[in-house]
Structure formats: structure tokens, C-alpha cells
Amino acid sequence: MDFLGSYDVVVIGAGHAGIEAAHAAAKLGAKTALFTLTLDGVGNLPCNPSIGGTAKGHLVREVDALGGVMGIAADATFLQSRMLNLGKGPAVHSLRVQTDRKRYHEYMKHFLEKCDNLELKQAEITGISVENGKVTGVQTNLGGFYAAKAVVVATGTYLGGRIFVGEAGFASGPDGQHAANQLTQSLQEIGIPLRRFKTGTPARVHRRSVDFSKLEVQPGDAEIVPFSFLTEGELKNKVECHIAFTNPLTHEVIQNNLHRSPLYGGQIEGIGPRYCPSIEDKVVRFAEKERHQIFVEPCGLDTEEMYLQGMSSSLPEAVQNEMYRTIEGFEHLEIMRPAYAIEYDCCDPTSLQPTLEFKQVQGLYGAGQFNGTSGYEEAAAQGLLAGVNAARKVQGKEPVMLPRHTSYLGTLVDDLVTKGVMDPYRMMTSRSEYRLTLRQDNADERLTPMGREWGLVDDIRWKKFCQCHEAGIQERKRLESTTIRAQELEPVFLEAGLQPPGVGGTAATLLKRPEVTYALVAKVIGWGEGLDKRTAQRIETEIKYEGYIQRQQRQIQEVKRQEETPIPPDFDYAPIKGLRLEAREKLAKIRPRSIAQAARVPGVSPADLSVLAVAVAACASQPQKKENEETP
């Protein structure tokens, strides 16, 4: 085996997790190598070419706030932008953009090529070397060896990848790229527990074969809000998207051919995503529904390929032709790339620490779909955290962790390492008990100081953040101290088609009214000095929901007290009397770091937690008791 170089951090896979991991490690000063099966697959969007969505948009904002890349790239390459859930409360408002697939890849590849401390390499990693429980390097399929002090595994759906289209099944990564078929054995040999998951993607079709006159138009937002805190200038939508619908005839074709689906025929062993089912699953599980939505979205400006979001399938190609053509507007559909299911290897995330380092091997980290998640956004967020911790490990610094009350990223990681997953994990706003304080509009306030402390937030971003932060503080004070008279409000309210309140009050008091916006108040008292629209929106939300936010902050403080009650890493659960067998086994496997995390372990009851808390307290008092006994 040839020695080809030495690195602080090696990242395996250049998808969304690998990109953020490699960038973060290199940004922190670690000499980093990012390996990919093909340079043409860097930042690939093999499923829907979109970024964000419900809760996923929150993750993109958090990655950006911490100094990551995804939000900037999404703003630079988007085709259409829409803010979802505007009819609901601000906690669930989520940005989503349709992205130019080719341009996104090109942007990310060039971005990585320009990163200091980072080398981008095309090679298949086939083995991970471990000595005395520590990572020492990686081997390639060409017989090369690269020494490494830390390794991040971000293999996506390539690890042991197998494609299914009807009766046809073959080894492959997404989009016909070859799979990584040898690394699985190496991971198993070093003690990493693996499992088999599955996901799927719809057909890509030719634009000219779609009759758009029969589809619903889905326009983008008139006023576009960017993902990244750094994006400036006017942003414009470049395309329209459309919506089609299945019908009873579509469902009949699917039902008549279920026996030819590898998912129902038993060829697929992996477990698919519960919240992103194939069209076969939808028809079976929701038999009472007469139609399902299909979002018809372009793959880019310089291609005629269209993506049929919501209609992934593993049915045979002939059945796909028949099925799609039953849909109004698709009568003459030309399939350019058939839909397929892909099965792949991933780890059991309960074998990870909250730092995303494996418990079994020091210096080995997991990120993205390899950790049992689904989605580009979940992958990017994990990649950033894994990359930061890999670099800090090499540099002899303490690891960083994000408690679940700080972020959706913290919630995601805690769910993975504490609860595990039975199917590919998808982030949703309902997964967080603190979603009113974890809004996408305050991601910078929550996380940019943390990113600065880690070393990911550069001077340009930090200066802009500090300016916006100070402007927000001053504007909040102004709103709370400025009184507006009723006669000043009347013409402004009437112009907006609203009933004048009849009484005046402070600007902050008026903003508590549901129909009153900051823009309306600003017409009377003027716009705050140095205040941008994003900060103004955040202040408005915080004033309107002040009581609810304060209540949630009190809940967070209570949980933080429990988080501050640590459980020793080598704590012995076996001798604890009163602890049920199931709880004892689960706690010994997960090894929670605190009483609060122990409370979230599935199978641990409130009674178990009470017994555990007493035992931990007794353990903590023993050294002090012994010290007191020895004191003369």
C-alpha cells in the first residue's frame, strides 16, 4: 500500500454533509482532505433539486448562522423562492427554494476548490484504519493510504447502494453513479453497527411533454427573503412551478401492479422514510384519498428536465409510463430518467455521542444520511457539527455540543443519539418542544455568537451581525418608550383598511394587536435607524408573542438545571435497586450525559428517572463524603 499523504481530518463523501464538514474543519485550521467517488457529484441534488421546506428551512438558517455554506449557495443558485406556512404562526414559517441543480453543484465545487487548508480528491475510500481504538487513516481502492487523525463518514446513499426499478435490481449509487461497496465491511470490522435503509425518487420528464395549461400555477413570493444573513441585493424568481394531481385511474394502475413493486414483493429489505412515502405507499396507506398532489418543478435553467415531486416509485418502467400518463397534463409524458428506489447502509445513531463521534472508535465521526437521517438540510447541519468537532479533537480542544433548546440542530442530534431511528429521520417543527424560541428569523441571534466562538464566523459576518443586533436592541427600546396618539393612528389604519383602535399607547403595546405590523407602526413613528426588514420582523414577532416566549424560556431554564446534573461516563447502572431491567439496558447502551438526556431515552419511565436521580446524587456525594472524613 502506497503512502500518499497525512491530514488532520479526512471527510468521506462530498454531498451536503461532507461539504459542511470539510469546510468547517478547514476553516478551523485543520489540514483537511475531502474524498468523493467523482468530482462531478460534489453537492449533487439526486432527489428534489430544492433547499429548505418546513423545519428544513430552519436548519439551513442555523447552518448559515453558524458560518456554514448551504444558505449562501442556495441564494446564489435558486430558481424560485417561497415562504411556507405563512397562514400559520411564526414558529412554523419556513423558507424553501427550487434550485438550479447544475449551478448548485458548480458553485459548491468551486467554493471547495478555493478553501484554504482543504484538498478535494476523487477516490473511493475502501477502508478505515484503527489502532488501539483510534483512527489512523483511510485506504483507497487504488491501493493508497492517507494518514488521518480524525475521519468523518458522510457517504449518503452510496454506501452499499442498490437501485430497484421493478424486477431489476443492481449495485449503484444515485443517478447511475457507482456505489461504495467495500467500505461497509471495514466499518463492520471496527465495530460500527450498521443497518439498511431505503429511499426513492420520482421520474424526470421532458418539459415539452407536459401540458401546463391543465396544471395549477404555483408562483414564487413577490418579496423574496434570502436564506443567508450575508446575501444582499434584489432577488428575483426565474421560473414558475406547477401542481398536478393523481386520480382514481392512476391509483388503479398502481394497485394492479403492486405485485411488481420490489417494495411489496420483498426484494427491498431496507426501511423507507415514513414522512416521504412512495406513490405506491400513498395509494395503499391512504386508500380513501381520491388524489395526491404532484409538484412539477424545473431542474435548472439550462435543461428541459422537470422533477415530479411527490411521486417517487420503484415500479417497472412500463408501469411508470402507464401510471404517469393517466394524470391530466401528462397524457404524452416523456420520461427521461425513470423513478427508482435506492437501498443503502447506514449506522445506528445511538452508537454516536452528541458530538457525532462514535463511542467505539476515537476520532471517527458520522454525518448525514449515514447517521440514519433523510434530507439535504439535516445532512448539512450534522456535517457542520461533525467537522467542527473533528477539528477540535485534532487540536486538543474540548468538543462542542448543542442542547436541544438551543437549535433544531441540537434537537436533531439529541433525537438521533438518544432515541435512535426506526426509519430515515426527517426534521419537523413538531419535533421541538421549544419551536417558538427556535424560529428561523432568530437563528442568527441564537447561534452566530456560538459560531464566532468556534471560529467559523469571520469578521465580515460578525461585524454585520453586531450592527443588526445593536440596531434591534435600540429599536426595541424605542418602541417601548414611544407613545402614539389615537388621532395619529386613525389615518394610517383607515388607509390599510383596518378599524382604528380608538386609543393610543406605546408602539410596542400597539404591536401586540394581531392586525398591527411593524411597517404600519413605522408609518407613524418612522423606520428604525439601521434596521433591516428581517430584524424588524423578528422584533414584531417577539413583541406579539412575548408572554408565550417568556413561558417557554422558563421551561428551558428548568431543563437546563437537569442538563447540569451530569451522569459520569462510566456510571454503573447494574447495581441500582428499583431500576427496571429495560431502563437499565437502555441507559447502559445510550450512556446519557445528564439526567435530562436520560429522561428522553425510550423505555425510561418517570419512576426509573427518580431512582436514577437519587443514585447519581449519591454517587456525586461520595468523593465529598470521603474528603470530609479524611479532614482532621
pLDDT (tens digit per residue) in 316-350: 999 999 999 999 999 999 999 999 999 999 999 99
In this predicted structure, what is the pLDDT of residue 587? Answer: 95
Domain boundaries of the chain, sorted by first residue: 2-192+345-452, 204-342, 458-554, 565-630
CATH T-level assignment (fold) for domain 458-554: Arc Repressor Mutant, subunit A (1.10.10)
Q: 427 and 377 in contact (C-beta within 8 Å)?
A: yes
In this predicted structure, what is the pLDDT of residue 627? Answer: 44
pLDDT (tens digit per residue) in 434-465: 999 999 999 999 999 999 999 999 999 999 99
Q: Which residue has the cell 439526486?
A: 46
Separation CA 81–CA 250 (nearest Å): 30
CB atoms inside a 10 Å sphere around CB 564: 10
CATH, range 565-630: 1.10.150.570
Q: 197 and 422 in contact (C-beta within 8 Å)?
A: no
pTM: 0.94
In this predicted structure, what is the pLDDT of residue 600? Answer: 93
CB burial of residue 561 (10 Å; 0-12, 13-18, 19+): exposed
Q: What percent of the chain has a predicted confidence (pLDDT) above 90?
A: 88
Separation CA 299–CA 94 (nearest Å): 21
Which of the following CATH numbers is that of domain 204-342: 3.90.1200.10, 2.40.30.260, 2.30.30.100, 1.10.10.10?
Answer: 2.40.30.260
Q: Which residue has the cell 468538543?
A: 399
124 contacts: CB under 8 Å, gap ≥ 6: 35, 37, 140, 141, 180, 182, 183
Long-range contacts of 81-89 (CB under 8 A, 24+ apart): 81/220, 81/221, 81/224, 81/225, 81/235, 81/237, 82/218, 82/220, 82/221, 83/221, 83/225, 84/53, 84/54, 84/57, 85/54, 89/436, 89/545
104 contacts: CB under 8 Å, gap ≥ 6: 43, 45, 49, 73, 74, 77
Average pLDDT of span 550-555:
92
In this predicted structure, what is the pLDDT of residue 623? Answer: 56
**CA terminus-to-terminus distance, the chain:** 63
Give the rounded distance of the alpha carbon of 217 from its chain centre. Answer: 28
Separation CA 125–CA 597 (nearest Å): 35
pLDDT (tens digit per residue) in 276-315: 889 999 999 999 999 999 999 999 999 999 999 999 999 9
pLDDT (tens digit per residue) in 599-629: 999 999 989 999 999 999 888 777 554 444 4
In this predicted structure, what is the pLDDT of residue 345? Answer: 97
**Average pLDDT along the chain:** 94
Backbone angles phi, psi at 314, to 5 degrees: -125, 20
Place domain 2-192+345-452 in its CATH homologous superfamily: FAD/NAD(P)-binding domain (3.50.50.60)
In this predicted structure, what is the pLDDT of residue 631? Answer: 45
In this predicted structure, what is the pLDDT of residue 626? Answer: 44
In this predicted structure, what is the pLDDT of residue 327? Answer: 98
Q: What percent of the chain has a predicted confidence (pLDDT) above 70?
A: 98
- Residues 506-527 as b or e (16 or more Cβ within 10 Å = b): ebbbbbeeeebbbebbbbbeee
Q: Which of 8-17, 74-83, 236-245, 548-557 has the lowest mean pLDDT?
A: 548-557
Confidence of residue 266 (pLDDT cuts 50, 70, 90): confident
